[in-house]
């Protein structure tokens, strides 16, 4: 009898594309700015100020493993990494679309969990799910596109850092990389680090806070602090020097570093996927909750770049896809 079939046993192929979509969009409520949500050829919504758009694609086996993370965690991560890109512009999150590729033999319950995660993180970030696409795929793939609005503020670019500015961060650094190192050795602890790898703790609202405080450049830390500040240095044609003693070395990061024989500062300076925010501010303008970690200087004829205590960082670098 169909009514007694466990939903855990049903697969994506059993319910089909439209069944999955119906489950994902069930009971969604739309804010007044959204004239048309899911269910038509496109979503329609009003933007206050300029529109701001970012896309991130997460692929099973590359960005997550189903044996390391739950569906809910994977859904949350897919939204968090995108919302962080809006925070990094200092704008207000508005709506999102989700492209979801899943194998036909996946349990429906797992997709339901992904939807739960997508919506939970969207709520946290201030985003509303307004549409997307569902398809079959060998590997679970989530491609989220988020739209934000400037509400009259100027977006904070990567290119505005000026000599004399200070560098400050807000959010976790090194936790996700430490969590990945732990998971890679078969451990599920320290729990706080592993959880950070599964779902980054994006400092929602801190991007707008920085923009209002006059941040001159900003980025979210996806590839590692040195690598991502390198993008600001390149775009702004400046040198950035970090003070190693300015960084907290959190207990979970210390624990993993001790267990793996690595330098905890290496995790903090080069670990990616935490999606903390890093920004430059005029001296004296660093807002509450941000930690001052360095300074911006002229290139003085040298190449733009990032140093630590005045010297090139000799530890490991950040993460780049396709490269070892």
Residues 107-136, interacting with a copy of itself (CB under 8 A): 130-136
Q: By the 8 A CB rule, do 170 and 203 touch?
A: yes
Cis amide bond preceding 4, omega within 30: no
Cis peptide before 190 (omega within 30 of 0): yes
Helix (H, G, I), strand (E, B) or coil at 295: strand
Q: In the window 234-263, what residues touch a copy of itself (CB under 8 A)?
A: 235
Site membership for a copy of itself, residue 36 (CB under 8 A): yes
Site stretch for a copy of itself (CB under 8 A), options 2-10, 71-79, 140-148, 292-300:
140-148
- Of 85, 121, 195, 273, the residue at the interface with a copy of itself (CB under 8 A) is 85
**Cβ–Cβ under 8 Å, residues 35 and 45:** yes
Instruction: Compute φ and ψ for 22, nearest 5 degrees.
Output: -60, -40
Choose, by CB under 8 A, the member of 24, 78, 91, 240 that binds a copy of itself: 91
Q: Which stretch binds a copy of itself (CB under 8 A): 155-163, 243-251, 278-286, 302-310?
A: 155-163
Q: Is 9 in the site for a copy of itself (CB under 8 A)?
A: no
Distance in angstroms (rounded) separating the CA atoms of residues 279 and 217:
5
CA–CA distance from 189 to each of 75, 175, 273 (Å)? Answer: 21, 12, 17
Task: Quote the tokens at residue 236.
Answer: 């702004």
Assigned token pair, 42: 């496109």
- CB 41 to a copy of itself: min, Å: 4
Residues that contact a copy of itself, how many (by CB under 8 A): 71
Span from 70-78, 137-145, 251-259, 303-311 in contact with a copy of itself (CB under 8 A) = 137-145
User: Residue 45, interface with a copy of itself (CB under 8 A)?
Assistant: yes
CB of 163 to a copy of itself, least distance (A): 21
**CB 172, min distance to a copy of itself, A:** 18
Kindly state the smallest distance separating residue 34's Cβ from a copy of itself, in Å. 10
Which residue is associated with the tokens 């970012």? Answer: 54
Measured distance CA(85)–CA(202) in Å, rounded = 10
Q: How far is the CB of 1 from a copy of itself (least distance, A)?
A: 22
Q: Footprint of a copy of itself on residues 266-305 (CB under 8 A)?
A: none
Handedness of CA 270, 165, 90, 145 (dihedral sign): negative
**How many Cβ atoms are within 10 Å of 196's Cβ, its own excluded?**
26
Q: Which stretch binds a copy of itself (CB under 8 A): 85-93, 113-121, 245-253, 291-299?
A: 85-93
Q: Choose which of 77, 112, 119, 158 interacts with a copy of itself (CB under 8 A).
A: 158
Q: Which residues, numbered 206-235, are part of the site for a copy of itself (CB under 8 A)?
A: 218-220, 235
Name 277's bridge partners.
170, 220
Please select the residue that binds a copy of itself; options are 40, 151, 298, 309, rule is CB under 8 A.
40
């Amino acid at each position: 009898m169909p009514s007694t079939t466990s939903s855990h046993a049903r697969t994506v192929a059993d319910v089909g594309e439209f069944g999955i979509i119906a489950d994902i969009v069930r009971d969604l409520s739309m804010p007044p700015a959204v004239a048309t949500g899911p269910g038509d050829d496109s979503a329609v919504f009003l933007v206050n100020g300029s529109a701001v758009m970012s896309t991130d694609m997460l692929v099973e086996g590359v960005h997550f493993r189903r044996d390391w993370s739950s569906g809910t965690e994977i859904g949350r991560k897919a939204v968090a990494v995108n919302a962080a890109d809006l925070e990094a512009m200092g704008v207000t999150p508005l709506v999102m679309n989700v492209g979801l590729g899943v194998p036909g033999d996946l349990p429906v319950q797992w997709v339901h969990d992904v939807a739960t995660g997508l919506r939970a993180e969207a709520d946290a970030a201030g985003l509303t799910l307004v549409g997307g696409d569902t398809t079959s795929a060998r590997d679970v793939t989530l491609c989220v596109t988020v739209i934000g609005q400037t509400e009259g503020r100027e977006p904070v670019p990567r290119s505005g850092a000026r000599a004399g500015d200070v560098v400050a961060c807000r959010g976790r650094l090194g936790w996700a990389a430490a969590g990945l190192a732990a998971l890679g050795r078969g451990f599920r602890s320290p729990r706080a680090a592993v959880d950070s790898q599964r779902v980054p703790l994006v400092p929602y609202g801190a991007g707008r806070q920085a923009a209002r405080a006059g941040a001159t450049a900003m980025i979210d830390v996806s590839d590692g602090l040195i690598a991502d500040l390198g993008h600001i240095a390149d775009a702004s044609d400046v040198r950035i020097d970090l003070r190693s003693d300015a960084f907290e070395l959190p207990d979970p990061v210390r624990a993993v570093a001790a267990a793996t024989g690595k330098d905890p500062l290496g995790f903090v300076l080069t670990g990616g996927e935490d999606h903390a925010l890093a920004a430059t501010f005029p001296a004296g303008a660093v807002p509450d909750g941000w930690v001052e970690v360095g300074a911006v200087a002229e290139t003085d004829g040298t190449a733009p770049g990032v140093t630590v205590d005045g010297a090139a960082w000799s530890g490991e670098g950040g993460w780049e896809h396709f490269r070892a």
